[in-house]
Structure 1
Amino acid sequence: MSSLGILASSSSSSSGGMLSLLTPAGKVAGTGILPLTHKIGQLFGHGALDPAVLKVVVGSLPATYGDYPQDSDVAPSALFVAIFSILALAYYYIFIRDYRRGHKFWAFFGLGGYCVLRVIGFGLRINWSQDVTRVQTGIAATVFTLVSVLFVNMLNMLFGHRIFTRRHPETGNASWFNIAMAVIYFVVIGVIVMAILGQAIPYIYFLDSTHLKMCQNVVQAAAILQVLYAFAGILLIVTAYTIPPGKIDHRLFFKGPKETLPKTFSATWIESCSPFYFPTKGSQQIIHRGDPQAKYIRVIPSEEAPAGGLADHNDDHPNGPKMRTAIILIVVTSLLLSISSAFRCASTFILVNRGGYANVPFSNWIFHNWVLYMFNGAFEVIVSVLLLVFRADLRFYIPDKSIASTNETSSDLTVDQTTSEAVKPETSHLA
Structure 2
Amino acid sequence: PPYAPTTAAVGGRPTIDTDIPAISVFLLLYIGGAICNMTIFQMNRRKGHKFLASWGMFGFCMARIVSCVLRIAWTTRIHNARLAIAASIFLNLGVMVVYAVVLVLASRVLRATQPRLGWNPVLRKAIKISYVGIVVVVILLLSFIIASVETLNQGVRTASLWVQRASNLYLLLLNCVAPIFLILSCILPKDPESENFGSGSMRTKKIILGVASFFCLFISGFRCGTIWAAPRPASDPAWFHHRALFYLVLLGFEIVVIYLFIFTRFDKKFWVPNGSQGAGDYSGKNEKAVEKEAAFDSDVQSV
Between the aligned partners of 2:47 and 2:237, the Cα distance in structure 1 is: 55
Match of 2:241 in 1: 367
- Closer, same or farther: CA 320–109 of 1 in aligned 2, 3 Å: closer
In the alignment, does 2:182 pair up with 1:237? yes
- Is structure 2 residue 168 aligned with structure 1 residue 223? yes
Map residues 318-357 of structure 1 onto 2, 5 A cutoff: 320-348=199-227, 349-355=229-235
Q: How many residue pairs end up in the alignment? A: 274
Bigger Cα Rg: 1
Q: Distance in 2 between matches of 1:312 and 1:76?
A: 46
Partner of 1:310: 192
Distance 1:221 1:68 in 2: 25
Of residues 73, 95, 109, the one that matches 2:41 is: 95
1:307-326, Cα deviation, whole Å (9 max, x unpaired): x351186xx88x95111111
Cα distance in 2, alignment partners of residues 117 and 367 from structure 1: 22
> Equivalent of 2:7, from 62, 65, 68?
62
1:84 corresponds to: 30
Which residue pairs with 1:383 in the alignment? 257
Q: Quick one: higher RCO (CA 8 Å, sep 6+), 1 or 2? A: 2
Residues in 2 aligned to 1:201 and 1:342: alpha-carbon distance in whole angstroms: 25
Instruction: Indicate which of 157, 162, 186 corresponds to 2:103.
Output: 157
Pick which of 138-147 and 149-158 moved more: 138-147
Rounded Cα–Cα distance in structure 2 between residues aligned with 1:90 and 1:134: 34
Pair 1:385–1:342, CA change in 2 (3 A): same
Contact 1:63–1:367 at 8 Å: present in 2 too?
Answer: yes
Alignment of 1:228-307 (within 5 A): 228-244=173-189
Structure 2 CA distance for partners of 1:35 and 1:169, relative to 1, 3 Å? closer
Residue 65 (structure 2) aligned to one of 119, 125, 129? 119
The change in CA–CA distance for 1:123 and 1:198 in structure 2 (over 3 A counts) is same
| Distance across 2 between alignment mates of 1:163 and 1:339 | 21
Structure 1 counterpart of 2:170, which letter?
L
* Percent of aligned positions that are identical: 22
Task: Give the counterpart letter for 1:400 in structure 2.
Answer: N
Distance 1:204 1:378 in 2: 32
SS in 2 for 1:109: helix
Any stretches of 5+ residues in structure 2 without a counterpart?
277-303
- Return the offset for 1:36: 5.4
Residues 61-103 of structure 1 deviation map (CA, whole Å, 9 limit, x = unaligned): 2111221222232111111111100111011111111111121
In structure 2, relative to structure 1, the CA distance for the partners of 1:69 and 1:140 (3 Å cut) is same
CA shift in 2, pair 1:35/1:339, >3 Å? closer
Is the Cα–Cα contact under 8 Å of residues 106 and 178 in structure 2 kept in the other structure? yes
Provide the residue aligned with 2:280 in structure 1: none
> Structure 1: how far apart are the matches of 2:171 and 2:3?
31
Distance 1:35 1:395 in 2: 47
Counterparts of 1:115 and 1:329 in 2: how far apart (Å)?
19
TM score, norm. by length of structure 1: 0.60
Whole-Å Cα distance in 2 between the matches of residues 123 and 228 of structure 1? Answer: 30
Q: Is the partner of 2:95 in helix, strand or coil?
A: helix
Conservation of the 8 A alpha-carbon contact between 1:146 and 1:192: no
